[in-house]
Amino acid sequence: MSVMESMFLQQVRVVEELLKQIQQAIANLEDWNAQLSSVDDLLMSPDGMKTLAADCMLLEAIGESVKKVDVKTSGCLLPLRPEIPWIQVMGMRNHIAHGYFDINTDLVWDAIQNDLRPLKEAIDYFVEDLYSLLPFDE
């Protein structure tokens, strides 16, 4: 294996680890919010507020990791799943990171309720087929 191939393989492993971290974050979001029925469940109790803060942290981490995946794959992986609005996933990270106390909780709730499943399916696809999706020859 050449030095270039070895370096590329190392990058692919980093991407794989980022994707697995996203999978875990999605699993946590699903688990933490499974018993909640509305955004009010997040806003009306101290435990709900803690869950909201943790949700925001994970959504921010997902957006940041998606950015890193895009950079490390030179923009060739994410377009393989065009049904995911990747720009908005990354934008959610920016909104949360820079919104501080001005976070739209309805938007956070909507993302958790409606956007996690398709994102999970795309990330699972990438993890399962990563080595065949990226141009790598061992």
Single-letter amino acid code for the residue at 36: L
C-beta of residue 29 within 8 angstroms of C-beta of residue 58: yes
| Phi-psi sector, 36: left (phi>0), alpha (psi -120 to 50), beta | beta
- List C-alpha distances in Å: 26 to 23, 95, 117, 131: 5, 18, 9, 22
- Segment-wise mean pLDDT, segments of 10 residues, the chain, 138 residues: 71 95 98 96 95 95 97 94 96 78 86 96 96 68
